[in-house]
Structures are given as C-alpha cells and as structure tokens.
C-alpha cells in the first residue's frame, strides 16, 4: 500500500460512505461553469471594416465591434467572429459575456509598432514592471474586471510577432516591460480553448487576480531561445484548470506565481486550487515552475499526466529570502521526462528582487510537496534540492521515481526534510526515511486522488491502518 492518508482524506472518505455529494469531485475534465455557451448575438469583424490582408491595421475595427457588442452583455452576451485571413491589430479590450471566436485559418497578428500596445500601470502585487521599473505595455488581448469571457475557435491562431520585442529586449532599447499576448485581470469565468498561440512578446497567457479559469486544448509555440516567453502563468488566481495542451517555448511551460516580495505580501492574493493534466512540451527552462514570485502564497496545485522532453528542468520551485509567502500542498504525479537536465529542482536563493526595500527576514514557507510516479530517460541530475539555512523545506515526499541518470552525483540536497519510497537512483540522505503511517499527516495527497483509486475494501483496509497508526 503506497498511498498514504491524511486525517482530511479519512474524513472525506467517511463522508463518501454517508453519501455526501460535496465530497465527490469530478474526475477527468476541467469543470465547466456553462458547458455549451450559446451567444444569442454574433457579428463578424468584417462588418466593422476590418481587412484581413496582414497589412491593414484593424485595432479600430476590433474596438468598435466590441463596443457595439457591449449592448448585448445583459442579453445573454455576444460572439465576435474572426474569419480566415490575417488580421493585424494593436491591443484591444474584451468585455463580459463575450466569445471571441477564430475560425480555421484566422490569424490575429500583433502589430510590430510598440505604439499600438499602450502603456498601462504595473500590477500592484509586483510594485513595478516585471523587467523594468515603472509601467508596462498592455497585452494584445486584454480584459479587466470582467465575468464570462471565452476565447476559442477552430484552431485559429493568435500570433504576437514577438521577435521584434525580443530584439528590443536584447539590445536594451525598451522603456517599459514587454506585453503579454493575452492578459485577463480580476476576471471570473474564463475559457481559452481550441486555439494556437504563437510568438508572444513576453509571457503568453497571463490570468492575474482571476477565478474559474479553464485553458484547454491549446498549442503555444515560441522559439526555444526567445526570452521569457512562458506558456501559461496563473498569477494570484484560483480555481484554474489547464488540460490537454502542447507548449514549446523559451521559458517555463507553466509558471504559477503570486506577486513579488513586499508588494506581493501586502497585496496578499494567493494562487490556489490549480489543476494541470495532460500537458506535453519542451523548453529551455522548467515544465512546471512555482515562483519565483510567490509572495502571496501558492497552494493546492495538482498536476498529473505530464510529458516533458528536451528541457532544462521538469519541476522547479524558486524562491528567496525577502519573498515571504508559502508554497504548500503540491501534488505532482505521473511525469515522464526525456532528455531533461534536472528532473526536480528547488532553489531557495533565487534572488531577483523588485528593489532594495524587501525584508531579508521575510522567509518563504515551503512544505508538503509530493512528487509521485516519475520516469526519465537521459536525465543528468535527478534532484538539486536546495532549501534555506534556518528555513528548511519540510515534508518533501518523493515516491516511485525511476530515472536513468548520467551524473555520478544525481541528488544534491541541503536544508530539506522529508520521506521517500521506491526512488532510483538512491535518494539523498535527508529524504531517505521511508513513507510509513507515522508520516501520513506529513506527506500531501489530494483527496480526489484517493477516491478515484479506492474501492470500499481498500478504503476500509486503509482506515484500519490509519486508526492503528
């Protein structure tokens, strides 16, 4: 019996037997607020004078179409249809109860003139632009204070034409932080699906201060050497579900964040309840990263069925003294790695502060991280796990890990405490104690996982063991 149980699990299991509906979670798909949203009103972007020749700038057409559709927001919402063609545009704002629909062979192209990406305030949880002090460019597709927003289609494309921004970044000629391809701020009920996203100037999809976000069945591509082109960055957001995506970019495939040092601490909006499954990709950075901005806290991250290849790191947690905040209750399971330099990496001394005003005594709390079921071929290091002196990372539980490694010292651990079971190559000394019932309350396992893998006999058997323990 390799699954371990927490008291919470046991209570949830008991609840199952007394038929409590709240204890039963959906198992295989992102939950839908409204599965088949039909918008009663629909217009095509061509009705607003847009020209899909790849040369005409259509910013006004997008803005006018959306302004017009605003009058239907309280009448069931509306759909903006983008037909086949190349629709060059600068930034435009979405509204509530809107579906932006891109047909097959529809391509929205980001303008290569930075004036078409206006400058807006930095995020309060960052205190400044992420890469330069001060304000930042607005994303190509932007939304704020909204509810019920859908960006979907028949595999149409949203192409940021980011290479010009990457060059401006490299030759240090930018005045403000680069824009995202899609940013939704303070929005509830977001679906982004069935599309391809190319060449974002900076992070590709950025939900920040959002709830109930689904990203499903999307392809995100940017060159492996493009700077900071993260795939999806849930940031100070909750109830996020990311499913069945292929992502190949120049920075983290998914990076979960929640604000930067003292700004993130005072904004105090965590990222929590983030589900990721069926993710495939490659990157010069990490498959799933948490941090380095995590000052508002990150918890309840459940990621399963992950396939990363040709990447620098599989799972990475990045933090630093000064961040404060926490990363806890993280469950990663069923990850397959091929040609990856480091399978699991924790970095306590990431550095990288917004300014000199951070409190070096604000130490992050990193605890209850479970990584189960990992296989790897041609991996160099199994784990480089560096906690902080005086701030040990706690209850790190690694099980069923089988990596074929090339380095002679595959594990390197410092300021780490936890348990392990069935790990090859042999794990570092601080994690060598086996996962036994005494540690059931230490290791983190989400309850739905138990429910989907248990039958009554097994459950009763485990309850028995728990009671004995």
Ligand X SMILES: *[C@@H]1O[C@H](CO)[C@@H](O)[C@H](O)[C@H]1NC(C)=O
Does the footprint of ligand X cover residue 241 (CB under 6 A)?
yes
In order of 155, 186, 427, the CA distances from 147 in angstroms are 24, 9, 47
Residue 31 neighbours by CB distance under 10 Å: 12
Answer whether 280's CB lies under 8 Å from 312's CB.
Answer: no
From the list 235, 238, 251, 372, the catalytic residue is 251
Does the footprint of ligand X cover residue 211 (CB under 6 A)?
no
Least spacing, CB of residue 16 vs ligand X, in Å: 14
Segment interacting with ligand X (CB under 6 A) among 62-70, 288-296, 299-307, 388-396: 299-307
Least spacing, CB of residue 190 vs ligand X, in Å: 11
Q: Which residue number, 326 or 358, has a Cβ lying nearer to ligand X?
A: 326
Does the footprint of ligand X cover residue 453 (CB under 6 A)?
no
Backbone angles phi, psi at 437, to 5 degrees: -50, -30
Does the footprint of ligand X cover residue 425 (CB under 6 A)?
no
Does the footprint of ligand X cover residue 266 (CB under 6 A)?
no
Least spacing, CB of residue 284 vs ligand X, in Å: 5
Does the footprint of ligand X cover residue 455 (CB under 6 A)?
yes
Least spacing, CB of residue 222 vs ligand X, in Å: 13
Please say if 159 is a catalytic residue: no
Question: How far is the C-alpha of 42 from the C-alpha of 317, rounded, in Å?
Answer: 44
Site for ligand X (CB under 6 A): which residue of 159, 239, 293, 421? 239
Does the footprint of ligand X cover residue 284 (CB under 6 A)?
yes
Q: Between residue 321 and residue 350, which ones bind ligand X under the rule CB under 6 A?
A: 334
Does the footprint of ligand X cover residue 372 (CB under 6 A)?
no
Site for ligand X (CB under 6 A): which residue of 199, 200, 271, 275? 275
The residue nearest ligand X at its CB is 155
The DSSP bridge pattern shows strands 238-249 and 98-102 to be unpaired
Does the footprint of ligand X cover residue 412 (CB under 6 A)?
no
Least spacing, CB of residue 185 vs ligand X, in Å: 7
Does the footprint of ligand X cover residue 417 (CB under 6 A)?
no
Contact mark string toward ligand X, 2..41, x via CB under 6 A: --------------------------x-xx----------
Q: Between residue 143 and residue 202, which ones bind ligand X under the rule CB under 6 A?
A: 144-145, 152, 154-155, 164, 167-168, 171, 173, 186, 191, 193-194, 196
Does the footprint of ligand X cover residue 370 (CB under 6 A)?
no
User: HSE-up of 152 (CA within 13 Å, CB side)?
Assistant: 18
Does the footprint of ligand X cover residue 307 (CB under 6 A)?
yes
Positions in the binding site for ligand X (CB under 6 A) = 28, 30-31, 144-145, 152, 154-155, 164, 167-168, 171, 173, 186, 191, 193-194, 196, 216-217, 219, 224, 239, 241, 273, 275, 277-278, 284, 304-305, 307, 310, 334, 402, 404, 424, 455, 457-458
Q: Catalytic residue positions?
A: 251
């Amino acid at each position: 019996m390799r699954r371990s149980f927490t008291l919470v699990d046991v209570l949830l299991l008991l609840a199952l037997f007394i038929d409590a509906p709240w204890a039963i979670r959906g198992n295989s798909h992102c939950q839908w607020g409204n599965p088949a949203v039909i918008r009663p009103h629909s217009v095509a972007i061509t009705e607003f004078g847009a020209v899909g020749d790849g040369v005409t700038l259509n910013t006004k057409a997008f803005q006018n179409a959306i302004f017009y559709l605003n009058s239907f927001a309280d009448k069931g919402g509306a759909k903006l249809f983008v037909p086949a063609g190349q629709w060059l545009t600068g930034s435009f704002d979405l509204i509530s109860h809107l579906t932006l629909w891109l047909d097959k062979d529809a391509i929205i192209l980001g303008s290569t003139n930075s004036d078409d990406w206006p400058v807006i305030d930095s995020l309060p949880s960052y205190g400044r632009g992420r890469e330069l002090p001060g304000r930042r460019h607005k994303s190509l597709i932007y939304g704020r204070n909204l509810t019920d927003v859908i960006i979907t289609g028949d595999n149409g494309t949203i192409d940021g034409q980011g290479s010009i921004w990457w060059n401006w970044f490299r030759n240090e000629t930018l005045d403000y932080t680069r824009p995202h391809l899609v940013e939704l701020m303070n929005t509830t009920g977001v679906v982004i699906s069935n599309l391809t996203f190319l060449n974002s100037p900076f992070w590709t999809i950025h939900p920040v201060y959002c709830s109930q976000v689904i990203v499903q069945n999307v392809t995100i591509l940017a060159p492996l050497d493009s700077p900071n082109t993260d795939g999806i960055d849930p940031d100070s957001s909750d109830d996020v579900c990311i499913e069945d995506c292929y992502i190949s970019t120049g920075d983290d495939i998914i990076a979960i964040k929640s604000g930067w040092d003292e700004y993130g601490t005072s904004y105090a909006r965590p990222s929590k309840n983030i589900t990721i499954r069926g993710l495939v990709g490659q990157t010069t950075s990490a498959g799933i990263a948490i941090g380095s901005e995590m000052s508002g806290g990150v918890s309840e991250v459940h990621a399963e069925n992950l396939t990363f290849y040709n990447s620098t790191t599989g799972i990475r947690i990045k933090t630093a003294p000064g961040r404060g905040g926490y990363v806890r209750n993280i469950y990663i399971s069923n990850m397959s790695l091929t040609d990856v330099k480091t399978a699991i990496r924790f970095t306590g001394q990431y550095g990288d502060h917004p300014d000199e005003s951070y409190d070096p005594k604000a130490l992050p709390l990193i605890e209850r991280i479970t990584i189960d079921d990992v296989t790897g071929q041609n991996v160099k290091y199994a784990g480089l796990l560096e906690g902080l002196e005086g701030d040990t990372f706690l209850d790190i539980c690694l099980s069923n890990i089988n990596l074929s490694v090339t380095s002679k010292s595959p594990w390197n651990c410092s300021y780490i405490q936890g348990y392990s079971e069935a790990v090859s190559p042999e794990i570092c000394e601080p994690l060598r104690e086996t996962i036994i019932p005494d540690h059931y309350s230490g290791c983190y396992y989400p309850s739905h996982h138990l429910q989907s893998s248990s039958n009554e006999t097994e459950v009763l058997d485990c309850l028995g063991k728990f009671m004995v323990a």
